[in-house]
Structure 1
Amino acid sequence: MPPALQAPGILSRLRTETRPYHDTVEQNPFNQALTAGTITASDTAQFLARMYGIVAPYEARMQQQATDFGPEWQLEQRYRGHLILADLTRLGYPGTPPLCPAMPPLETRAQLLGAMYVLEGSTLGGQVIARQLAAAGIEGRTFFAGRAERTGPLWKQFTQLLEAAAATEDANAMVTSAILTFQTLAAWLTQE
């Protein structure tokens, strides 16, 4: 008798099922300018202001539900909105960045975990972006480099905690939330 097929883990599902939405986010004007080697401080400030519009409401919701996570998640080390504001000051961004008015639902722990997958994952690409901005001589890259040498270990810890959480959380809700977060991010980053 052949061995029973095991359902893929949550991390595998998230990678596979969100891939097209992740790829769409990568097509934003900031990434295009970065790839083309035409990135400017103004492009960077506009992108960071848009990121703040997603990150700030997400982090506010995470702070409201922090007790649902516990100390092992190290949420206080995962917040990065303040880094964006510091970068915007360095880049001379005027005013307060707009907040995204149409955030995906972040009411349940499963929904927060799906969004967390997207935003925690962005720390990995942020390391590459920080190096590209440094090579272009652009300040305001603290958000991208934010965790430096702790990025890899914090991501690994997150994925382990996510896999463990999937045993008690609605995996479909996590995947749906990650997809909606990517879709919201793609629309917000390209909105004029």
Structure 2
Amino acid sequence: MSARARLREETHEAHEALDAHFSAYDLSDRGDYGAFLLAHAAAFVPIEKALTEAGAERLFPQWREMVRARWLREDLEALGLEMPAPMTPPDFESDAAICGGAYVLEGSRLGGTVLKRAVGAGLPHAYLDHDPALRWPQFVAEIERLLHEDVDRVQAVASANAVFETFLRAAK
């Protein structure tokens, strides 16, 4: 089983729980959309920062193009919302843990492609507006290269599930 397939399979339950929670938001409604962005900001921004500080750019040379907290902040500002208190991110103490965390953030970029269609007219959507088509294949290739040992895949899955849990706590 590929590293990507294992991550997808072993994070499915956490991913579904998060999707179920976020699906309750009406992204065409300014208030719901703002709440959605605030929940994302509380988790996404500190997780992305922690991944950067842990050395994600060393593993993913395209990391600087992957980061998108800036656009999330801009969308909140455009809605007149302050950044929420940050959630405590998981520890990314190994390369495998960094891979697991990055997997969730990059996967959320793919989800953003679908979600941006539901955003109400006139609402800012820079955070959801990044085309993942060029990044995802390269990212998956890096994941496969980096997570070749079973122990690495176990650590990556644990990290990815911890990231999903951080998002879920922020959403609640």
Equivalent residue letter for 2:84? P
Unaligned runs of 5+ in 1: 1-7
Quote the residue 2:142 is aligned against.
161
Distance, in Å, in 2 between the alignment partners of 1:122 and 1:186 is: 13
Cα deviation for residue 110 of structure 1 reads 1.2
Give the one of 99, 106, 116 matched to 1:113: 99
Quote the residue 1:98 is aligned against.
85
Matched-pair contact (CA < 8 Å) for 1:41–1:138: no
Matched-pair contact (CA < 8 Å) for 1:111–1:177: yes
Equivalent residue letter for 1:43? D
TM-score, length of structure 2 as denominator length: 0.90
Quote the residue 1:4 is aligned against.
none
Give the one of 11, 26, 43 matched to 2:4: 11
1:173 partnered with 2:158:
no
Cα deviation for residue 68 of structure 1 reads 6.3
SS in 1 for 2:74: helix
Cα shift readout 1:2-52 (whole Å, capped 9, x = no counterpart): xxxxxx111110111111110000122x42233xxx741121112212211
Cα deviation for residue 138 of structure 1 reads 4.5
Superposed, 1:1-192 pairs within 5 Å as 8-28=1-21, 30-34=22-26, 39-66=28-55, 69-70=58-59, 73-93=61-81, 95-101=82-88, 103-133=89-119, 136-145=120-129, 147-148=130-131, 151-167=132-148, 170-190=152-172
Q: Which consecutive segments of 4 or more residues in structure 1 shift more than 4 A?
A: none
Cα deviation for residue 59 of structure 1 reads 2.0
Task: Tell which structure's C-alpha radius of gyration is larger.
Answer: 1
Percentage of matched positions with identical amino acids: 26
Matched-pair contact (CA < 8 Å) for 2:3–2:147: yes
Equivalent pairs counted in the alignment come to: 171
TM-score, length of structure 1 as denominator length: 0.81
